[in-house]
Amino acid sequence: MSCTPRIIALAAAAAIFVAGSCLALRPAVAQPAICMPAAIAEARLQAEYGEAPIGAGVAGGRLAVLYTSRDGATWTIAIRDPERDVLCIVLFGEAWEVHERAPEGEPS
């Protein structure tokens, strides 16, 4: 799956909701962050890519969330602003791999 159709699909969903209060984020890729109401973004990630959240962490009052498809074929990293309930997609890609942690006391 190329990134271009994905960007177009997500941008189309974002165009439905014009968010003047989108988070000021600097994405790690050359494209701007795609922001929309969290419920719309999560429904779209599930419907279009079969992605669901598998991990999250707090960063500066916001929540960084990792979504992956069940088989890891696609993944998305997004930042959620809980005060505005807005989700901004900052990175996405293919071929997510899960690496097991080494048992405590063993080198990783």
Mean pLDDT of 70-90: 95
Residues 6 or more apart in contact with residue 72 via CB below 8 angstroms? 95, 96, 97, 98
Q: How far is CA 98 from the centre of its chain?
A: 17
Q: How many CA atoms lie within 13 A of 97 on its CB side?
A: 3
Could you give the CA distance from residue 69 to residue 46 in angstroms, rounded to a whole number?
8
Q: Which residue has the higher pLDDT, 99 or 94?
A: 94
- Enter the pTM of the model: 0.68
Give pLDDT, residue 106: 77
What are the pLDDT digits (tens) for 1-43? 455 566 555 554 544 333 333 333 333 444 678 999 999 999 9
